[in-house]
Amino acid sequence: MIPEPDGFLGTLLAIEGISDARAVINGPNGCRGHPAYLSDNLFSRDNSLSERNYKDRFFFGQSRIPCTFLDSDDYIYGSGIKIREILPLVAKKGDTLLAIINSPGASLIGDDLTGFIKEADLEDTCMGIGQAFYSKPFHQGFDETIRSVLEWLHLNHLPKSKAGVNLLGLSIMHKYWEGSLDELTRLCELMGLFVISAPGAGSSVPMLRESVTASYNICVFPEYSQKTADFYRNQFGIETIRSPSGAPVGFDATEEWIKTIARVTGSDPGRALEEIALKRKRAYQKISRSYLEVAALKGSSFSVKADASFALPLSRWLYHYLGMLPVSIRVPETGSIEEHVPAFLPEQHLEEILKINPEELDHDICFSDRLFGKHLVLSGRCKACIEISERMSPETEFIRKTYLGGEGALYLLENIFDCIEYL
């Protein structure tokens, strides 16, 4: 059993993360509710004042991710009737791209999605995804789906734009993805680069078509972009720049991220680094005044449950910057942890903490999704939780926040300092 967001959800939200695309589930109604809720909340494109899709068949009162609501007869006789009915109805919504995705059960029926799409005369608009990375981690489903979309679009070879880059590996499931996109775009612009697209994080199909004009891809979260990066390199010769420090989490990793990009692209990192230096100074002014608070943090223990490319730079930064000690780091089993900040754990003799279950350890602060964090706090295992990843109900966000870049480092500090009263 995988209690975490899985590859099926990754597939659905990869499609839903394309601004003019829509995912359609061919599966039972039970597969639909939570992904539809998440999509609508993470990347809202409708509002409750319009009629939206509430009354439409297959939408079940929600605005995103219609579903064929397969029942037992459909599993025996096939889902053709409902697919034939849903495709033209959803096509009328006017999305540039539709993707009909088999649920785990539907994939066993063996219906020919491509055939139904052809029959509906939607070959230019709709792609079929028969197998959706069930039982795989979320990021794998996301990455493979973005790659599949790019392949399906049959992108043209276009002239390169010297300063154009794509941001890879950011999804709408990432906490504060919109603020993160803003922050990273701004840092790129300070280096004289401009972001053409961020596949799966709000970019439209035309932006994806234009993405091939980029000179480089810039990796945000490597786990979410390995296959996508391979696609761009193999098909269009676009190399992906990866920072050795992982995602730009905390000041140190952000500076490394900027320097790596500047080194490869030949751009000037000066203004972006100056920006981070200003953020560092702001943090210094606040922290140096709060000597009691920072003393409470020093030597405090924390656990992290997140993707490796987030968890490791975060842990390294908190260790060196605030003097906090990681006691447990849990990452999805991807076998790629050594790729992310490989020097950090062995140099601090902390390898063992990768094996420690935070549910069996008393500690101070937990960095995780809200559900897991609450579980640790309520079971008395930790004193405070900082939510760094999405899983359940996204908060209603008015100010765009981020955990990435210089702004993200400050916001992490703000959240950490908010925990002090519980320590």
Partner 1 sequence: IRNRRKYLNRRHRMLYSTDLSDEEFIYSGEKRLEERLEDAVRDGHTHIFIVQACPPAIIGDNIEGVAEKVRRKYPHVSVYPVPVQGNLTGDFSQGIIDTYRSISGLLTNAGKKTDIPSVNILAGKMFAGNDEKNFKTIQALLSQLNITVNCCCISKTSFTSLMRYGDAWLNIPTEWDASSRSLYTILSAHSGIPFLIHPLPVGFSQTARWITGIGSFFGCEERAREIISREREKYLERISVIRPHLAGKKILVATQKRSVDWILELAEDLEMDVIKVGLMYSPSNDYYYTCHSGEYPVSDDYSVAERSSDIANLKPDLVLYSYPPLRPCDQSPSHIIPYSPDYGFQSGALWAERLSRVVRLPRVEGWKTDGGILV
Give Cβ neighbours of residue 72 (< 8 Å, ≥ 6 apart): none
Residue ranges of the alpha helices (H) in 17-104? 33-42, 72-77, 80-91
CA–CA separation, 419 and 416 (whole Å): 5
Minimum distance of partner 1 from residue 322's CB (angstroms): 6
Q: Pick from 234, 288, 379, 396: which binds partner 1 (CB under 8 A)? A: 288
Q: Nearer to partner 1 by C-beta: 320 or 374?
A: 320
Contact between 284 and partner 1 per CB under 8 A:
yes
Q: Quote the least distance from Cβ 302 to partner 1, whole Å.
A: 11
Sheet bearing 301-305, strands edge to edge: 325-330, 301-305, 363-369, 382-389
Query: Could you say which of 47, 291, 335, 398 contacts partner 1 (CB under 8 A)?
Result: 291
DSSP H or E run through 412: helix 405-418
Our finding on whether 289 is near partner 1 (CB under 8 A) is no
Which CB sits closer to partner 1, 287 or 377? Answer: 287
Return the residue of 57, 93, 271, 281 that touches partner 1, per CB under 8 A. 281
Tell me, by CB under 8 A, how many residues bind partner 1.
Answer: 26
Pairing status of strand 214-219 against strand 363-369: unpaired
Cβ at position 22, least distance to partner 1 in Å: 45
Kindly write out the interface string for residues 147-186 of this chain, putting x where it contacts partner 1 by CB under 8 A and - elsewhere: ----------------------------------------
Our finding on whether 322 is near partner 1 (CB under 8 A) is yes
Token pair belonging to 355: 């094996």
Under rule CB under 8 A, residue 342 binds partner 1: no
Determine the Cα–Cα distance for residues 330 and 357; give it in Å rounded to an integer: 8
Nearer to partner 1, 72 or 288 (CB): 288
In whole angstroms, the minimum distance from the beta carbon of 274 to partner 1 comes to 13
Select the residue interacting with partner 1 from 30, 299, 342, 346 (CB under 8 A).
299
Q: How far is the CB of 195 from partner 1 (least distance, A)?
A: 28
Give the Cα separation of 409 and 179 in Å (integer). Answer: 13
What whole-number distance in Å separates Cα of residue 336 and Cα of residue 246?
12
Q: Please state, in angstroms and rounded to a whole number, the distance separating the CA atoms of residues 275 and 14.
A: 32
**Angle between helices 250-265 and 177-190 in degrees, nearest 10:** 50
Q: Collapsing DSSP states into helix, strand and coil, what is residue 307? A: coil
120 close to 126: Cβ distance less than 8 angstroms: yes
Please say which residue, 75 or 417, places its beta carbon nearer to partner 1: 417
Which residue of 78, 321, 339, 359 would you call a contact of partner 1, by CB under 8 A? 321
What SS3 state is found at 200?
coil
Smallest distance from partner 1 to CB 340, Å: 20
Is 52 exposed, middle or buried (CB count within 10 Å of its CB: 0-12, 13-18, 19+)? middle
User: Which one of 36-44, 102-110, 213-221, 289-297 is the stretch in contact with partner 1 (CB under 8 A)?
Assistant: 289-297
**Under the criterion CB under 8 A, does residue 301 sit at the interface with partner 1?**
yes
User: Up-side HSE of residue 306: CA atoms within 13 Å toward CB?
Assistant: 30
| Backbone angles phi and psi of 98, in degrees to 5 | -115, 145
Minimum CB–partner distance for residue 327 and partner 1 (Å): 9
Residue 287 burial (CB < 10 Å; 0-12/13-18/19+)?
A: middle
Q: Which of 238, 283, 382, 385 binds partner 1 (CB under 8 A)?
A: 283
Min dist CB 20 to partner 1, Å, is 43
Segment contacting partner 1 by CB under 8 A, of 105-113, 142-150, 175-183, 283-291? 283-291
Q: Choose, by CB under 8 A, the member of 320, 374, 375, 400 that binds partner 1.
A: 320
Extract the runs of DSSP E, i.e. beta strands, from 103-238.
Answer: 126-129, 161-168, 194-197, 214-219
Among 129, 325, 331, 376, contact with partner 1 (rule: CB under 8 A): 325
298 binds partner 1 (CB under 8 A): yes
Q: Which residue, 242 or 363, is less far from partner 1 as judged by CB? A: 363
Note whether 383 binds partner 1 by CB under 8 A.
no
Stretch touching partner 1 by CB under 8 A, among 95-103, 166-174, 176-184, 281-289 = 281-289
What sign results for the dihedral spanned by CA atoms 299, 305, 308, 310?
negative
Task: Tell which one of 280, 330, 340, 370 touches partner 1 (CB under 8 A).
Answer: 280
DSSP 48: T
Interacting residues with partner 1 (CB under 8 A): 251-252, 277, 280-281, 283-284, 287-288, 291-292, 294-295, 298-301, 317, 319-323, 325, 348, 421
